[in-house]
Amino acid sequence: MNKFFTFLLALIFMVGIMAGCGTGTTESQRDTAQDANVEQVDVQQPEDETAHESNATENEHNHAHPAEPEEGTTCSMCNMEVYLKNHEMGKFTGQVVTADGQHLYTDDLGCLLNQIRILEEKPQGAWVRDYDTLEWIPVEQAIPVRASIETPMKMGFALFGTEEAANNFATQNPMLSPVITTMKEVDKIALERRKAKLAKMKEAQEKAANQNNSEMKDTKNEMNNEMHGNMNQ
């Protein structure tokens, strides 16, 4: 009997030891899993911050603002003077902010539309002045009114921020033969003017090249005549 109790106590003791070892293994696995979770959060955090910074940069890029031109600024298209806000012609000044953030100024609406046309990348924004308030308004929102008014490049368009303002101008200035139109129609006019200008430039270049070739030919003939004359002597 004593041997039986001794054997039973020994068996209980061994079972207890095995159970304790099993619990230790489980806690070790839990600790490992917790360490893995902590490491995963640490890795994800910089990614979230990077994404946030990227979004902030993109938002800043897409929210460009107009700025006033400085004294002596010239038109990016025709190289003529860009008039400041307090000048009589300043109400026709326009500007575009390129994809890389560069401000380009123009002296008249046609130059602005053609400048936008030839940009390699979509600009961040473009603005014109309201004819009445002189405030900057997005070019795509402007209401153009063609009238017998003097503008720097003789486009003859006054621009307004609202249809009401455009209608008031047309009603109050019948002597100017005002016609409310659309920016799409104005863009067609600007494009035709650009094509005509390029054609004239090409014609002038060809004329200059022909004249240069003619002068070179005349010079060559004169040199040949002189050489033959010297040989005959």
pLDDT single digits (tens) 131-176 = 999 999 999 999 999 999 999 999 999 999 999 999 999 999 999 9
- Alpha helix (H) ranges present in 129-182? 163-172
Write the pLDDT tens digit of every residue in 80-126: 999 999 999 999 999 999 999 999 999 999 999 999 999 999 999 99
Beta-carbon count within 10 A of 152 CB: 21
0.85 exceeded by the pTM?
no
Across the range 199-214, mean pLDDT stands at 87
**Token output for 230:** 């010297």
The 3-state DSSP class for residue 72 equals coil
pLDDT for 191 equals 97
pLDDT tier at 26 (50, 70, 90 boundaries)?
very low
Q: Per-residue confidence at 189, pLDDT binned at 50, 70, 90?
A: very high
What is the residue whose two structure tokens read 């040949």?
224
Please give the pLDDT value at position 151: 98
pLDDT at res. 139: 98
Reported as a pLDDT band with limits 50, 70 and 90, residue 207 is confident
Render the burial of 109-124: b for 16+ CB within 10 Å, e for the rest.
bbbbbbbbeeeeeebb
